Amino acid sequence: MNGVNGVNGIGGQSIIRQEASKATSQDNGSFGSILKQVFNSVNTSQINADQAVTQNLEGKTGIHEAMIALQEADINMRFLLQMRNKVLDAYREIMRMPF
């Protein structure tokens, strides 16, 4: 019997970390390319959650799959918003610095 493995790909940090590592290997790791990959990842999780809910309403999947997809999308969005807040705070702090 196999040991219990953790659920991979659930949660904002692990997915965003995966997308950031893909971006660094593809586009010289520029900040813009990493952000683009993160936005695409969050968008994909939102689309997957919408599809999971639709499939649940059609009776093709169970409520558990839909709830997992919704929670994953929620965590990804919250993580993205926290990233945005940190970037804005850093920008404001830089703007307050004297020349």
* Cβ-count burial 65-90 (b if 16+ within 10 Å, e if not): ebeebbebbebbbebbeeeeeeeeee
Question: Within the chain, how many helices (H) and strands (E) appear?
Answer: 3, 0
Residue 23 falls inside a structural domain: yes
pLDDT of residue 70: 95
Residue 31 falls inside a structural domain: yes
Residue 1 falls inside a structural domain: no
CA–CA dist 95, 83 (Å, integer):
18
- Each of the 99 residues of the chain gets a pLDDT tens digit; together they read 444 344 445 455 566 666 666 655 665 678 888 888 889 999 999 999 999 999 999 999 999 999 999 999 999 999 999 999 999 999 999 999 988
Residue 17 falls inside a structural domain: yes
Residue 4 falls inside a structural domain: no
Q: How many domains does the chain have?
A: 1
Residue 87 falls inside a structural domain: yes
Residue 7 falls inside a structural domain: no
For residue 53, give its domain range.
13-96
pLDDT of residue 89: 96
pLDDT of residue 56: 95
H helix runs in 6-62, sequence order: 12-26, 31-57
